[in-house]
């Protein structure tokens, strides 16, 4: 039987159905015998469900008006504009990471 440490690295891919058939079977067989890993899968599924419920589609009218508000100064280089956009995305991912961390801490308490 595979160890929990070996399985733990596969669980996220398992719940997101990204494993090859052979690995999927191996994880399923391990879960059938391991309460600890089943609890970890349950926690991961809870986090996934919370995140999926919190994500909402942005209505087209809001999305298009938001892009209409973006003003790029003519003097700014394309590189500066792209860098600012990448920084905004990085900041957004930082917020998402903190939110998921908070959700994980809340669920595991």
Per-residue pLDDT of the chain (109 residues; tens, 9 = 90+): 568 888 888 999 999 999 999 999 999 999 999 999 999 999 998 888 888 777 777 777 776 776 666 655 544 566 677 777 788 888 887 787 888 877 777 776 5
Name, in order, each residue with C-beta under 8 angstroms of 23's C-beta and a sequence gap of 6 or more.
10, 13, 14
Three-class SS of residue 9?
coil
pTM over 0.75: no
Domain that holds residue 12: 1-55
Could you give the angle at the alpha carbon of 51 between the alpha carbons of 105 and 30, nearest 5°? 70
> What pLDDT score does 5 carry?
84
User: How many distinct helices (H) and strands (E) make up the chain?
Assistant: 6, 0
Claim to verify: residue 82 and residue 97 sit in the same structural domain: yes
Claim to verify: residue 47 and residue 10 sit in the same structural domain: yes
Count of structural domains within the chain: 2
């Amino acid at each position: 039987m595979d160890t929990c440490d070996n399985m733990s690295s596969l669980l996220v891919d398992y719940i997101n159905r990204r494993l090859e058939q052979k690995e999927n079977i191996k994880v399923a067989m391990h879960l059938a015998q391991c309460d600890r890993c089943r609890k970890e899968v349950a926690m991961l599924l809870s986090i996934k469900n919370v995140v999926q419920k919190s994500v909402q589609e942005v209505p087209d009218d809001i999305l298009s008006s938001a892009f209409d508000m973006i003003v790029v100064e003519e003097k700014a280089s394309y590189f500066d504009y792209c860098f600012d956009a990448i920084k905004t995305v990085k900041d957004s991912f930082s917020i998402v990471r903190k939110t998921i961390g908070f959700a994980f801490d809340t669920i595991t308490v």
